[in-house]
Amino acid sequence: MVNPRDGVPTIHLHITVVDGQRHIWGRGNSATGPVYTNTDADMQKNRRVLFYPRLGKAKVMKKLNNWISREDEDGQIVWFLLNRPDKRNAFGDEVAEEFVEFIDGLKSNSKIRVLVISSALDEVFTAGADIKELMAIYEDEPYSAAFQMSKTVQTMFAKLENLPIPVISAVKGLCLTAGLEMSMCCDVIVAADNAKFGQIETKYGIIPGGGGTQRLTRLVGSLKARELIYTCDIIDAPEAQRIGLVNLVVPLSELEESVNALCRRIIKRPKLAITRAKELTGRAFYENPEGYGGENRGFGETFATGEPLERLSEFIKPSKGKKDN
């Protein structure tokens, strides 16, 4: 990308440290341009380097099997990125275990002021639950297995929601089912302009099991929540902002920079004031905790009918040009 003011090529560059080694990578045209790394000859050419996002000139990065964590130079902003490209970032047991381990570990780090949940992929935030693991429910008594799965996912997302620090969801690409349920646990949702949202479980004969029936209703109102859950409509980022599901929509190329700027604005405020504000606004949000128990039971009941097995099996069959309805 050439700066129009002086004609000098510009690279948006990331510098990270992985297992003690320095890694450099970047894009000539933000999210859509070619990728340059520290091994490319292009890096030796006359190019201006921009450190993007503006977290500082170095970040510590830790890679788990399904997640990548990185923090800014002073350790106050942490990004946690889902990275399971072969499964379109689908949630499974291992993803959940790593998620819980990471969230629990944040409690002992008093330096962290803001957590950002996002995806390492531009085209998908998460496609939702791992279909094969959902089908494995039928290897056991379906009602009990589905009830327990719903309970486990709700507990996992509650850990995120109950963190004393602000949590921002930075959504890009497809954000469905469990991904949307996770995002709705966050304090702020910032969406890239390519983001799409859907709570589409009823398409498979089941209901949202990770808090979707409760949080979606509270965020967008009962009428709109019912419409989205009943129809399985997938909405784009501007529509999500219009109905109150997301706070802000920005170009994909500006997502990280915009989120980091928001984090810096939050960090300027006293820590205790933010913690208490989060606690009290959370109390105002929740009035019927029994709704989550009802969701556990409904999730189990729908699986017990056996219909989800047929519908989920159809989903994973090779596509033969059948139009989705």
Residue (of 74, 123, 165, 135) closest to 317 by Cα position: 135
Cα Rg of the chain (Å, integer): 21
The Cα–Cα gap between 95 and 129 comes to 10
Q: Has 279 been annotated as catalytic?
A: no
Q: Is 139 considered catalytic here?
A: no
Q: Give CA torsion, residues 286, 288, 293, 296, to 10 deg.
A: -60
User: Which residue among the candidates 201, 256, 257, 295 is catalytic per the annotation?
Assistant: 201
Asked if residues 98 and 135 have their Cβ atoms less than 8 Å apart, the reply is no
Partnered with residue 61 across adjacent β-strands are 18, 70
CA of residue 139 relative to chain centroid, distance = 29
Where are the extended beta strands (E) located within the chain?
10-18, 21-31, 35-37, 48-51, 59-63, 67-71, 77-82, 114-119, 124-126, 167-171, 174-176, 188-192, 196-198, 235-236, 248-250
Catalytic residue among 97, 139, 141, 181: 181
The DSSP output letter for 324 is P
Residue 248 has phi, psi (to 5 degrees) of: -150, 140
Q: Is 230 helix (H, G, I), strand (E, B) or coil?
A: helix
Active-site annotation, residues = 181, 201
